[in-house]
Amino acid sequence: MQVESFVLGPFETNAFVVRRDVSSTACVVIDAGISAGPLVAYLERQDLRPEAVLLTHGHADHIEGVRLIRKHFPDVEVVIHKADAVLLGDPTANVSALVGAPLTVEPADVTLDGEGPIGYAGLTFHVLHTPGHTPGGVCYYCSEQNVVFVGDTLFAGSIGRTDFPGGSENQLLDSIRRKLSTLPEDTVVYSGHGPQTTIGCEKRHNPFLRGA
């Protein structure tokens, strides 16, 4: 698996371009960030073809870039969990109104219901529904490549905020303990903000996961 990371916008949101290997032209984008120009420029410079934008959740700093990606790659499929689908068109729910920059994005092409495998660009991602940061937060786990893309569910040394609409700290901690802490300890964790980490490192050092 080839993973390229981009830190986008004023909230320093991580977005990822993922492909099966360095020779593959098909890829997926995981979260679109804000001001996705550098990501789109990379896709075009490398002659890559994104098959999907896999959204971990519907907050503005993860979805704003969808508009630019769709403009340059009109065949791309935008994927989000059904419980967060409404956030794309609701500036209050997606928190953009809170910072004085109301944002809406056209509806997703695919809405996820529950969990299970999805496939794009020769890759298989297992969807893990991890509500708590948002009702429809998900993580995308690749067991073959031993990586998980967690959005704002889990960070190196911390967890996602739960004081936004639809958030619940108890629900988030339950999601992490049941869905993430059970993954192999050497699983590489790509978060929505900050550096990558591993499940084992977080179980040992993250104060929210100790004993998980």
Tokens representing residue 55 in the block: 């959204």
How far apart CA 146 and CA 212 sit, in angstroms, is 20
In the CATH scheme, what is the code of domain 2-205? Answer: 3.60.15.10
Structure confidence by residue, pLDDT tens digits, 65-77: 999 999 999 999 9
Asked if 55 and 106 touch (Cβ cutoff 8 Å), the reply is no
How far apart CA 201 and CA 70 sit, in angstroms, is 36
CA triple 32-184-20, angle to 5 deg: 45
Domain boundaries, given as residue ranges, for the chain: 2-205
DSSP label of 108 = P
Structure confidence by residue, pLDDT tens digits, 85-131: 999 999 999 999 988 999 999 999 999 998 999 999 999 999 999 99
Q: What is the CA radius of gyration of the chain?
A: 16
Structure confidence by residue, pLDDT tens digits, 23-76: 999 999 999 999 999 999 999 999 999 999 999 999 999 999 999 999 999 999
Beta-ladder partners of 6: 15
How far apart CA 119 and CA 1 sit, in angstroms, is 14
| Prediction pTM value | 0.96
Give the alpha-carbon dihedral of 128, 11, 87, 159, to 10 degrees. 40
**210 burial via Cβ count (<10 Å: 0-12, 13-18, 19+):** exposed
Asked if 126 and 115 touch (Cβ cutoff 8 Å), the reply is yes
